[in-house]
Amino acid sequence: MPLSDVTVKIDLVKPSSLKGLGTPLILAKVDGHNTYKEYGSLEAIKTDYAETTAAYKKAAAIFAQGDNAPSKVAIGTYGGGSTETPEEGATTQATFSIRNAFDEYFDKDWHFLILADATADERLEAAKAMEEKSYKFVVLQVTDREEVASYKGKDRTIVFYHPLNDEHPDAGLVGSVASHTVGSVTWKFKNIVGITPQDIKADELKKLHTEGAIAYVTKAGHNETSEGITASGEYIDVLHGKDWVKLNIETSIQSAFSNNGKIPFSNAGFSLLSVQVTNVLQTAFANGIVAEDADGQPVYSISTKTRDQITDENRKNRVYDGLSFTFELAGAVHSAEITGEISI
């Protein structure tokens, strides 16, 4: 994420244009150099990556999704080495690992990580790294059924089980769904151009979902994603919406700091900050992230502490910690149970 003086923490509480977040980063293993570059077309990518490379093929699967595809993709590399000379005079080769690349590129402008050349160990390392950040997503194509369970419980990992190595449903999924207005879509029921649906029996598909994976299947004659969950079982659109709210509140309040001569440490100043949160939550409601009540009104609340409720220490350090909010998720319908009655 970009530099900011604002930190938003959102806890997902479950019962007993502002920025969109659809840009993908493709990580490719390339010997000899480590780079990060953004591209607006396949033609531009072709100047750096041959059509035979996995990076190009992932990008092609993204752009194949037509009008749904993002306006740009980023490609970062890892695997290159840097020469180091210890005090003893010996020369060693330090490898720029997938974890190094993750840390180096994390604050760039992308939200979905796709791995082009990764081994199973590297996929797991990327999943662990993303879980530590608790922000953004890594989308993995897993062709080995036994590997699926390795990621169970991870909020920030999307596991797409698809045993065809020459297809790229991980990239296609991001290209098909990620750039829609956050909150306007679920990730289930989605068609992915260029991906072959798999013949998976109902009990096996249920087991896949229990383990936190999704697949591409045919239902009622329609080719579609079987679910819209991460490896923890949480819905992708829930976490994507959480990320959108976090980023846009941080951005809006940071802009308020930058565009005003100063925001006074007073109730009037706190009210100005509250307005920024209100504007973001209203947009989140319009986009389908925030639920509506029986009267069609958004279900959220915002609380502000007054100046006399802030500690002397925080006043001295110019830290206002008295702004908080809650909202109810709009959610989506993923299945239906219907009863009927026949009269004679």
In DSSP terms, 83 is beta-bridged to: 93
Question: Which residue is it, tokens 């829930």?
Answer: 238
**Do 38 and 88 reside in the same domain of the chain?**
yes
Q: Where are the beta strands (DSSP E) in the chain?
A: 24-29, 36-39, 73-78, 81-84, 92-95, 112-115, 137-142, 157-161, 213-214, 216-219, 222-225, 300-304, 323-327
pLDDT digits (tens, 9 = 90+) for 153-165: 999 999 999 999 9
- Secondary structure class of 25 (helix, strand, coil): strand
| pLDDT level of residue 14 (50, 70, 90 thresholds) | very low
What's the total number of domains in the chain?
2
Phi, psi of 254 (to 5 degrees): -60, -40
**Do 276 and 222 reside in the same domain of the chain?**
no
pLDDT digits (tens, 9 = 90+) for 84-130: 545 555 555 568 999 999 999 999 999 999 999 999 999 999 999 99
CATH number of the domain encompassing residue 203 = 3.40.1190
Cα 122 to Cα 132: distance, rounded to the nearest angstrom: 15
Mean pLDDT of 19-47: 90
- Secondary structure class of 214 (helix, strand, coil): strand
**Do 58 and 164 reside in the same domain of the chain?**
yes
- Secondary structure class of 49 (helix, strand, coil): coil
In a domain, 98, yes or no: yes
Task: Give the sign of the dihedral formed by CA 217, CA 221, CA 223, CA 228.
Answer: negative
Taking the model in full, what pTM does it have? 0.88
In a domain, 142, yes or no: yes
pLDDT digits (tens, 9 = 90+) for 308-329: 999 999 999 999 999 999 999 9
Domain residues for the domain of 29 are 24-180+188-227
Burial of residue 199 (number of CB atoms within 10 Å: 0-12, 13-18, 19+): exposed
